[in-house]
Amino acid sequence: MGELLETYQGTVYPWHCDHMGHMNVMWYVGKFDEASWSLFAKIGITPGYVRTSGCGMVAVRQTLEYKQELLAGDAVVVRSRILHVGTTSLRWGHEMVNAETGKIAATCELTGVHFDRSARVPCALPPEIVDRANGLWAGRP
């Protein structure tokens, strides 16, 4: 399995917290989404690629596990890795870590499909993106 790459750094702000006093689930999803786009950029699925190719990624499955509470003021780091490279799909995982304690606060695993934005159908990942993703999956830069 590939090495974990740092894909996000941030802070839990008071407005991220719910009536239970901890970060609400919607903010975990948002931070993991930002980390996903950072991971995609490392393999060539950049905003420029999305604009010029007419293709992008759509999420088709997301599984989250909450392990430790995050509170207002906590600094967080998300580390990510590619888990599987398919013909038209990727599977990747994230760990959200409390930067102060080093404890994993949440994990997330996603599957996404490379998608033709005009035709609205899955399409093959370009070979150069497959190569970069396979390199990350195998732990190569």
Q: What is the pLDDT of residue 67?
A: 98
CATH number for position 72: 3.10.129.10
Per-block mean pLDDT, blocks of 10 residues, the chain (141 long): 87 98 98 98 98 97 98 98 97 98 98 98 98 83 55
33/35 Cα distance (integer angstroms): 5
Q: What is the pLDDT of residue 47?
A: 97
Q: What is the pLDDT of residue 141?
A: 55
Mapped onto helix, strand or coil, the DSSP state of residue 25 is helix
Other beta carbons within 10 angstroms of residue 29's beta carbon come to 13
Distances in Å between the alpha carbon of 33 and those of 11, 27, 37, 94, 140? 15, 10, 7, 10, 23
Domains held by the chain: number: 1
89 in Cβ contact with 77 (< 8 Å): no
pLDDT digits (tens, 9 = 90+) for 92-109: 999 999 999 999 999 999
Q: What is the pLDDT of residue 136?
A: 85
- Provide the domain limits for residue 110: 5-137
> Which DSSP category does 110 fall into?
E
pTM for the model: 0.94
Residue type, 37: W
Q: What is the pLDDT of residue 3?
A: 79
